[in-house]
A and B are shown apart, each in its own frame.
Chain A
Amino acid sequence: MAKRSNEPFLWLLCSACGVVAALLIPIHLFLFGLAFPLGWLRAPSYDQALALARSTLGRVYLLVFCILPLFHWAHRFRYTLYDGLQIKHLNELVNTLCYGAATVGTIAAAYLIWRIP
């Protein structure tokens, strides 16, 4: 009998990260991508933005916000490559690229958030 796959972990990760992405990203994208640049709402000043970001809560929030959706992307994009480009046989390469990219993003996010003055 084959050992059970470890895919459940990745599926749970994708699901949890998908929920976080669904809950938080739309409002952020609306505010920072449209409302502020187009002047519909008053954007926070540099000092206000910095104050928000440098607080402990702010840093933790930004960590969660930047890291989790990347892993959601990694899992979904991996399967889209399997089905779209039919490269399931290259699964080791695809897995490394997808989860690797997410890991690189995680390190970049952690570094940047740590460097907030």
Chain B
Amino acid sequence: MLRYNEYPPKGYRVRVSTYWWIGRWAYLKFILRELSSVFVAWFVLETLLQIHALIGGPAAYADFQAFLRHPVAIASNVISLFFVLFHAVTWFNLAPKAMAIRLGGKRLPSLAIAGPNYIAWALASIVVAWLILRG
């Protein structure tokens, strides 16, 4: 460790392993939750590539569609979808923890805050899908 606190620790100290997060399922879940942000960024990149193909004209766009049909692309998108859903679900479930809203002397249950988020998610998805699919 490069930093020391005011009370230098006496006694035996175990150095924390780089793989501390593998030992416990709770830690692994945490790291996976944080790494879901990588898949979020990865899909933004895919979208940028798609816009680039759109600019290139019908042929370039068709090429990009073909690229997306490749088994490796499908597999990577399946994994990405899992992580992106994991991000959304953990996000909406954790958000209420930061908000201790008290109504009539009792704290609002988590569902009161998470629920509207899920509804907003469903609505946003339906609207987006409708806009894209109607042509």
Do A and B have CB atoms closer than 8 angstroms in the complex? yes
**Does B29 sit at the interface, judged by CB under 8 A?**
no
Q: How large is the interface on B (under 10, 10 to 19, 20 to 34, 35 or more residues)?
A: 35 or more
- Chain B residues with CB under 8 A of A32: 46-47, 50, 68
Dominant SS among interface residues on chain A: helix
- Chain A residues with CB under 8 A of B18: 84-86
- Give B72-93 as 1s and 0s: 1 = Cβ < 8 Å from A's Cβ atoms: 0110011011001101100110
Interface size on A, residues (CB 8 A): 54
Which residue in A21, A25, A34 is a CB contact (below 8 Å) of B74?
Answer: A34
> Would you call A46 and B84 a contact (CB within 8 A)?
no
- Chain B residues with CB under 8 A of A116: 51, 54-55
Given contacts A27-B128, A43-B65, are A69 and B88 in contact (CB under 8 A)?
A: no
- Chain B residues with CB under 8 A of A83: 21
Dominant SS among interface residues on chain B: helix
Closest 10 CB pairs of A and B: A33-B77, A73-B41, A22-B88, A27-B125, A76-B37, A73-B37, A37-B68, A46-B58, A37-B69, A80-B34
Instruction: Spell out B's residues near A (CB within 8 Å).
Output: 2-3, 16, 18, 21, 31, 34-35, 37-38, 40-41, 43-48, 50-52, 54-55, 58, 61-62, 65, 68-69, 73-74, 77-78, 80-81, 84-85, 87-88, 91-92, 95, 117, 120-121, 124-125, 128-129, 131-133, 135
Instruction: Spell out A's residues near B (CB within 8 Å).
Output: 18-19, 21-34, 36-38, 41-46, 48-50, 52-53, 62, 65-66, 69-70, 72-73, 76-77, 79-80, 83-86, 89, 105, 108-109, 112-113, 115-117
